Structure 1
Amino acid sequence: MSSSKFEQIAAIIERDIESGKYPSNSKLPTHRLLAEELGTTPVTVAKAYKLLMDKGQLESFVGRGTFVCAASDLDHAIQAPPEDNNFNFSILQPCLELNVPALKSAYRQSADLITAPVIGYTEHSGHEVHRAAGAKWAAMYGLEGATSENILLTNGAQHALSLVIESLTKPGDTILVEQLTYPGITAIANMSGRKLVAVELDKDGLCPKALAQAIDDYQATMVITIPSHQNPTGISMPEYRKKEIAQVINEKQVWLVEDDIYAFLDDITTPPIANFAPDYTFHISALSKAISPAMRCGYLKAPHSQLHALNAHIRTNIWLVSPINFIAATQLIESGEAFRLASLQRETANHRQQLVRDIFPSVDCAASGYHVWLPLPAHWHPDRFALEAKSNNIIVTSGSYFCVGDAQPTHVRLSLMSIGNQARLKEGLYKIKALMDSDTSGFFPY
Structure 2
Amino acid sequence: MSESKYYEIARELEKLIDVGHYPEGSKLPTHRELAKEYSTTAVTVAKAYKLLAEQGDIESFVGRGSFVKSKSHLKQAIHSQHVENEWNFSILQPCFSHHLDALYRQLGQCVREPFSPSLFGYIEDTGCLNHKECGMKWMQHYGLQVRSPEQVLLTNGAQHALSTLIELYSKPGDCIAVEALTYPGLTSIIKALGRRAIGVEMDELGMTPSSLDSICLSENPSLVIAVPSHQNPTAITMPLQRRKEIANIVQKHTVWLLEDDLYSFLNTDVIAPISNFVPEKSFYITSLSKAISPGMRCGFVKVPQSQVQRLSSYIRTMVWHISPITFEVSARLIQSGAAFKLAESQKMIATHRQALARDILDSEILSSQNSSYHIWLTLPDEWEAHEFSMTAKERGMMVSEGHFFHYDDKAINAVRLSLMAIPEEQHLIEGLHSLKRLLDQRRTS
Give the TM-score taking structure 2 as reference length.
Answer: 0.91
CA contact (8 A) 1:91 1:415 kept: yes
User: Aligned pairs, how many?
Assistant: 435
* Residue in 1 that maps onto 2:386: 383
1:106-146 deviation per Cα after TM superposition (whole angstroms, max 9, x unaligned): 33233324232122212222100001000000100000125
Superposed displacement of residue 253, structure 1: 2.9
Superposed displacement of residue 439, structure 1: 3.3
Superposed displacement of residue 437, structure 1: 1.4
State the alpha-carbon separation in 2 of the partners of residues 326 and 61 from structure 1: 48
Superposed displacement of residue 312, structure 1: 1.5
In structure 2, relative to structure 1, the CA distance for the partners of 1:130 and 1:362 (3 Å cut) is closer
CA contact (8 A) 1:9 1:45 kept: no
User: Is it true that 1:72 corresponds to 2:72 in the alignment?
Assistant: yes
CA RMSD, 1 decimal? 2.6
1:218-250 deviation per Cα after TM superposition (whole angstroms, max 9, x unaligned): 111100010000000010000000000000001
After alignment, is 57-66 or 147-156 more displaced? 57-66
State the alpha-carbon separation in 2 of the partners of residues 292 and 225 from structure 1: 22
SS in 1 for 2:120: coil
SS in 2 for 1:284: strand
SS in 1 for 2:125: coil
Once the two structures are superposed, the pairs formed by residues 122-133 of structure 1 within 5 Å of their partners are 122-133=123-134
SS in 2 for 1:438: helix
1:185-218 deviation per Cα after TM superposition (whole angstroms, max 9, x unaligned): 1110111000000110000000001001001111
* Residue in 2 that maps onto 1:432: 435
In structure 2, relative to structure 1, the CA distance for the partners of 1:42 and 1:172 (3 Å cut) is farther
CA contact (8 A) 1:113 1:327 kept: no
CA contact (8 A) 2:182 2:232 kept: yes
SS in 2 for 1:363: helix
User: Is it true that 1:198 corresponds to 2:199 in the alignment?
Assistant: yes
Residue identity in the other structure for 2:440:
D
Once the two structures are superposed, the pairs formed by residues 172-321 of structure 1 within 5 Å of their partners are 172-321=173-322
1:255-292 deviation per Cα after TM superposition (whole angstroms, max 9, x unaligned): 00000000000001100000001111110010000000
1:166-196 deviation per Cα after TM superposition (whole angstroms, max 9, x unaligned): 1111100000000000111111011100000
Q: Which runs of 5+ in 2 are unaligned?
A: none
State the alpha-carbon separation in 2 of the partners of residues 244 and 285 from structure 1: 22
* Residue in 1 that maps onto 2:31: 31
SS in 2 for 1:230: coil
In structure 2, relative to structure 1, the CA distance for the partners of 1:50 and 1:359 (3 Å cut) is farther
User: Is it true that 1:415 corresponds to 2:418 in the alignment?
Assistant: yes
Superposed displacement of residue 388, structure 1: 1.0
SS in 1 for 2:234: coil
In structure 2, relative to structure 1, the CA distance for the partners of 1:28 and 1:173 (3 Å cut) is farther
In structure 2, relative to structure 1, the CA distance for the partners of 1:313 and 1:68 (3 Å cut) is farther
In structure 2, relative to structure 1, the CA distance for the partners of 1:141 and 1:392 (3 Å cut) is same
Residue identity in the other structure for 1:11:
K
State the alpha-carbon separation in 2 of the partners of residues 349 and 367 from structure 1: 11
Superposed displacement of residue 32, structure 1: 3.5
SS in 2 for 1:268: coil
CA contact (8 A) 1:265 1:346 kept: yes
* Residue in 1 that maps onto 2:395: 392
Superposed displacement of residue 345, structure 1: 0.5
State the alpha-carbon separation in 2 of the partners of residues 232 and 297 from structure 1: 22
Superposed displacement of residue 64, structure 1: 8.5
* Residue in 1 that maps onto 2:105: 105
SS in 1 for 2:423: coil
CA contact (8 A) 2:23 2:68 kept: no
* Residue in 2 that maps onto 1:322: 323
State the alpha-carbon separation in 2 of the partners of residues 61 and 121 from structure 1: 49
1:36-68 deviation per Cα after TM superposition (whole angstroms, max 9, x unaligned): 8x7987647547535645755235688986454
Q: Which runs of 5+ in 1 are unaligned?
A: none
CA contact (8 A) 2:286 2:300 kept: yes
CA contact (8 A) 1:74 1:183 kept: yes
CA contact (8 A) 1:146 1:301 kept: no
Give the TM-score taking structure 1 as reference length.
Answer: 0.90
State the alpha-carbon separation in 1 of the partners of residues 272 and 138 from structure 2: 14
Residue identity in the other structure for 2:404:
Y
Q: 2:16 aligns with which of 12, 24, 37?
A: 12
State the alpha-carbon separation in 2 of the partners of residues 275 and 343 from structure 1: 23
State the alpha-carbon separation in 1 of the partners of residues 41 and 437 from structure 2: 38
SS in 2 for 1:294: helix
1:284-317 deviation per Cα after TM superposition (whole angstroms, max 9, x unaligned): 0100000000000000001112111211221111
Superposed displacement of residue 33, structure 1: 5.9
In structure 2, relative to structure 1, the CA distance for the partners of 1:213 and 1:34 (3 Å cut) is farther
Superposed displacement of residue 99, structure 1: 2.4
In structure 2, relative to structure 1, the CA distance for the partners of 1:167 and 1:29 (3 Å cut) is farther
State the alpha-carbon separation in 2 of the partners of residues 138 and 17 from structure 1: 47
* Residue in 2 that maps onto 1:86: 86
CA contact (8 A) 1:131 1:147 kept: no
In structure 2, relative to structure 1, the CA distance for the partners of 1:207 and 1:107 (3 Å cut) is same
Superposed displacement of residue 429, structure 1: 0.5
In structure 2, relative to structure 1, the CA distance for the partners of 1:5 and 1:154 (3 Å cut) is closer
CA contact (8 A) 2:376 2:417 kept: yes
Superposed displacement of residue 35, structure 1: 6.6
